[in-house]
Amino acid sequence: MNPQRIACALALVCSTFSLTVPAQPAAREASAAAPASKDALADARRRAQDAPFAFRGIALGITLDEFRAGSKVRATPIGSVPVCETDVQAGVLGMRLKSHESLTVACRWAHRDDNGWALSQAVVDGAPASEHVLRFARIAGRSEERSALRLYEISFVIDEVTAEDLREALAERYGPPRHATQNVSAPGALPVYVWENAVSSITLCFLPGTRNGTLTYLLKGSDAWVKSVVRQWQASDAEAG
């Protein structure tokens, strides 16, 4: 997993040839491919401004049912599946673990081995992450959507080499980060890079000491959203008592 993706600019060179000197096939193909690649990159960035960020095809905002039903398992070993239960943060508040009625749910990929179920490793930028979690909460909104658990956060802990590479890759895909602190010298200050669009953000933070990185995909406003979910649960629990 490596977090640098810096935007590549493709130069388009237009050449005028004499009618008596035909362009070579390779030159014609290159001149056609360059603008096509440049246009595709610009179009991808425009679309990225309107849609939630996605981790390797797993988009923020999808429902838990969609996540479970999808074929996008981004973990090793092969055969890993999502295992979901009440988020430990919600468990501290008193929500029952492994409850289908939970208002917040955390998912990790796992697999079966000779000793039973074991935690898998998410694969980020071709490397296994040491930790990962996908968090879902019940969305407030239209009545038909209120019972849906939706993905609001995806987070990973990755090694430094992967984090550096991923930084370049993200910059290449989404452009320079909107926020960046680097070469920091203040005590406790960490190198942090943030990409964001209208509805979501990606944050890459280099940790002190180990220089591991944390990579977090987050829906904007999710903090307030999750707090409202907790208040909803507390209110319903008080009414039940």
Identify the pLDDT of residue 222: 79
Identify the pLDDT of residue 77: 96
E strands, 71-212, where? 75-76, 81-86, 104-113, 116-119, 121-124, 127-128, 131-138, 149-158, 179-181, 192-196, 200-206
d(CA 176, CA 110): 34
Q: Which helix (H) or strand (E) holds 141?
A: none
Identify the pLDDT of residue 115: 86
How many helices (H) and strands (E) the chain has is answered by 5, 14
pLDDT tens, residue by residue, 8-46:
221 212 222 222 233 344 444 445 555 666 666 666 556
pLDDT band at 163 (very low <50, low <70, confident <90, very high): very high
Segments making up each domain of the chain, as ranges: 54-240
Task: Tokens for 119, please give them.
Answer: 């935690």
Identify the pLDDT of residue 5: 29
d(CA 69, CA 83): 12
Of 210 and 203, more confident:
203
In the predicted model, is pLDDT for residue 61 greater than 60? Answer: yes
- Helix 25-48 and helix 160-174, axial crossing angle in degrees, nearest 10: 100
Of 70, 219, 55, the closest CA to residue 150 belongs to 219
Rg (CA), the chain: 22
d(CA 138, CA 76): 29
Give Cβ neighbours of residue 220 (< 8 Å, ≥ 6 apart): 196, 198, 199, 200, 201
DSSP 78: T
